[in-house]
Structure 1
Amino acid sequence: MSTLVTPFTDKRMAEIVEKVQNGVRLSVEDGVYLYETDDLLTLGQLANEANLRKNGKKVYFIENMSLYFTNVCEARCAFCNFRKDQGEEGSYTLSGQEMIDYVEEHIHPGVREFHIVGGHNNHVPFQYYVDSLRALNEKYPDVTLKAYTAAEIDFFTRISGLSIKEVLQELQKAGLKSLTGGGAEILSDEYRKKMRVDKANVDRYLEVHRTAHNLGMRTHTTMLYGSIESYEDRVNHMVQIRELQDETNGFMVFIPLSMQPKSKSASIMRRNSAYEDLKTIAISRLMLDNIDHVKAYFINIGPQLTQVALSFGASDVHGTIVREKISHAAGALTPEGLTRKELIWLVKGAGRIPVERDTFYNEIQVYE
């Protein structure tokens, strides 16, 4: 039963509240209105109730570790500070053994997942990407490999001559269990052209995830917001994800990513306020009624705002990470990772129940 008690003078908001409480799907127009309204607290309470119906007071995290095998990238996306040209100062490409050496130096007990992404390095063959996974899988067979974005998979098809399905099958043989969500940015080809998103277009991004789902993989998906896109662009992005989820039911979580202040597109971006971040998390929860989880990514919005976001529809705070690089290259001032103890404190401090999970949201331990 709803706890909303606000006496609505705004008829439009009252209609949206009634829709959500009756399980009626929100339209693009509804989502845009929620961005335009200044009634943040009603929006947050509505999203909170939607999340409580799905997840109760449980908030999920994972013991994971981020790995970046190369920062050499042929793409030149306007917002990226991570990429380097081959031979540029600071560029690198790790061999399988070098990646294992890095893991052995930095891994902590309890890690259940490697989150693996990198640049589109066309100076190495597709087999390099396969062998890198295989080396990790053989050394750490109990750690789940969540690797590569849909944009990277599309890139692999170009350098290998294989289809999306064939690329994914080769990677599965090497140990791939799930795809990361990156590369979505904003799912608008007009936006991608203006922002020089020099990688998979909208159709290819969605097709990679569709194919992965049809092969039995469950995946993550993202939205990078805070530059030139309109509110309608953001909501249309969510609707495209929602439509694919209706078809495949393969997405586990939606991750809004707040653009960072030193992104190369800084001259045309509007730096996101906490108000905007909370709105986006709440609207994501309300629009994406068929995805179980919306993540509050502390790397982008900070631990304190992450706590607030848990009352605005978020049910996941990501994981321990260990030395995140991409957002920090763009100027993030947040921690590069948090310990299990810190994540538990973060969630409990927001009045929620921390739940350690695996990659697929199976519960490992509930910290009452």
Structure 2
Amino acid sequence: MLTTITAKIENNEPINRQEALWLLADADLLAVGKLADGIRKKRHPDNRVTFVVDRNVNYTNVCESKCKFCAFYRDAGSDEAYVLAEAEIFAKIAELVAQGGTQLLMQGGLHPDLKVEFFESLFREIKRQFPAVQNHSLSPAEITHIARLSELTVPETLRRLHAAGLDSVPGGGAEILVDSVRRDISPNKIGWEGWARVMEEAARQGLPTTATMMFGSTETREDIVEHLFRVRALQAEGGSFTAFIPWTYQPGNTELGGKTATGVEYLKVLALSRIVLDNIPNIQASWVTQGARMAQVALFFGANDLGGTMLEENVVAAAGCSFRMSREEMIQLIRGAGFLPVRRTTTYTILEEYT
């Protein structure tokens, strides 16, 4: 099987589900890593590893979805529930800009009262005050929720948000794009086709997007493979995914509990992602959940990007997993692995090389 798969990759032919499942379940980790590393070298022969200077601003922690894997959300009546004031949001963005940041990722929960007008007003003012910042915000679940609350269609909602200053849509809330898993871990969230509909519409409207996968909760290997092939199909049908980011479920402080995936499992899934997703240019390693050292190893298992420095991150931290990374630490991390560090924009325009 490995010989057949290797030949396909060398001939730029896509592998099938059966072959992907064999790589995940039965193949040697280093053999899979070698295949993925070869693809990375072919796609990114300049030895660059990219990153973006960004900040996650969680505008609210109130969420009706109540996903079992989430330690961040609070009920609307909780003493710990909040909605950030605009002044506080602008202060956070100003701090990001002062540190040379270019990407703002705003995500929260499915708040019962925040309709499209709230986001239009906020996004317009962000664009007015910080025109150089890429507003890379709101997951498909949030966009669908805003549309429902506002009695609008998803296309109408996206058009209005885009016009107000939304620049691109992150792939949060994908978890596993298999509804049997979603019913188990996030029964109140949109199904996989709902997630896909938002991403298809975003692409139609010219918005760049990313795709993610959270694995290690209750899914099977077959579910992981199905997720990857559904993302690949969405991209083939006109998707605008610039990158794919697999990351591991963090069980701390969650209703779901359980264990997180091992480092070996993470590297296997990461490498398989690079092999299967032959139509997505960038694969991002998750130092946020894996830590700096594992992120370095990931660069030899198919990843060519280390995501953002994340001046602020609250959701994964709520589950007890808190790593931090300054720009200089990111540069040294990439250099330490033998690569050329390159700062980029959200859409992978090169801003600065650190020779």
TM-score bracket, normalised by the shorter chain, equals over 0.9
Deviations 1:171-211 (A, max 9, x none): 11111110011010100111111113421211110010000
What corresponds to 1:254 in structure 2? 244
For structure 1, the 5+ residue unaligned runs are 1-11
Q: Is the 8 A contact 1:96 1:131 kept in 2?
A: no
Return closer, same or farther for 1:286/1:265 CA change in 2, 3 Å cut-off: farther
Paired residue for 1:294? Answer: 283
Q: 1:198, 1:129 → 2: CA distance?
A: 22
State the alpha-carbon separation in 2 of the partners of residues 71 and 128 from structure 1. Answer: 16
- Which stretch has the larger CA shift, 189-198 or 44-53? 189-198
Give the CA deviation at 1:87: 2.7
Give the direction of change, closer, same or farther, for the CA distance of 1:105–1:87 in structure 2 (3 Å limit): farther
Offset of residue 355 of structure 1: 1.1
**Where do 1:215-234 residues align within 5 Å?**
215-234=205-224
User: Which of the numbers 343, 349, 355 marks the counterpart of 2:342?
Assistant: 355
Map 1:78-89 → 2, pairs under 5 A = 78-89=68-79
What TM-score, normalized to structure 2? Answer: 0.96
Residue by residue, what CA displacement relative to the aligned partner does 1:129-153 show, whole Å, maximum 9, x if unpaired?
A: 2222222111111111001011111
Aligned match of 2:119 = 129
Aligned to 1:366: 353
Aligned to 1:244: 234
Structure 2 residues without counterparts, runs of 5 or longer = none
TM-score normalized by the length of structure 1: 0.93
What are the Cα deviations for residues 238-275 of structure 1, in whole angstroms up to 9, with x where unaligned?
101100101114100000011113152544x4421110
1:89, CA displacement in angstroms?
2.1
In structure 2, relative to structure 1, the CA distance for the partners of 1:260 and 1:111 (3 Å cut) is: same
Q: 1:161 aligns with which of 133, 142, 151?
A: 151
Aligned equivalents of 2:191, 2:136: Cα separation in 1: 22
- Give the equivalent residue in structure 2 for 1:147: 137
Q: Which amino acid aligns with 2:310?
A: I
Instruction: Provide the rounded CA distance (Å) in 2 between the counterparts of 1:32 and 1:38.
Output: 9
Q: Which residue does 1:321 correspond to in 2?
A: 310
Residue 284 of structure 1: CA displacement? 0.3
Which residue matches 2:36?
47
Q: Structure 1 CA distance, aligned partners of 2:126 and 2:98?
A: 16
1:198 corresponds to 2:185: no
In the alignment, structure 1 residue 34 sits paired with structure 2 residue 7: no
Which of 276, 289, 308 is the aligned partner of 2:265? 276
Asked if 2 retains the 8 angstrom alpha-carbon contact of 1:188 and 1:202, the reply is yes
Coordinate RMSD, CA, aligned: 1.4
Q: C-alpha distance in 1, partners of 2:157/2:322?
A: 36
- Is residue 202 of structure 2 the alignment partner of residue 212 of structure 1? yes
Partner of 2:99: 109
1:332-362: per-residue Cα shift (whole Å, max 9, x none)? 1422xx1211111111111111111011101
SS at match of 2:237: helix
Indicate the percent of aligned positions where both proteins have the same amino acid: 33
Which structure 1 residue ranges, 4+ long, deviate > 6 Å from structure 2?
none
Distance 2:200 2:158 in 1: 11
> Is the contact between residue 232 and residue 279 of structure 2 (CA under 8 Å) also seen in structure 1?
yes
Contact 2:116 2:161 (8 Å CA) reproduced: no
Distance in 2 between the 1:216 and 1:107 partners? Answer: 25
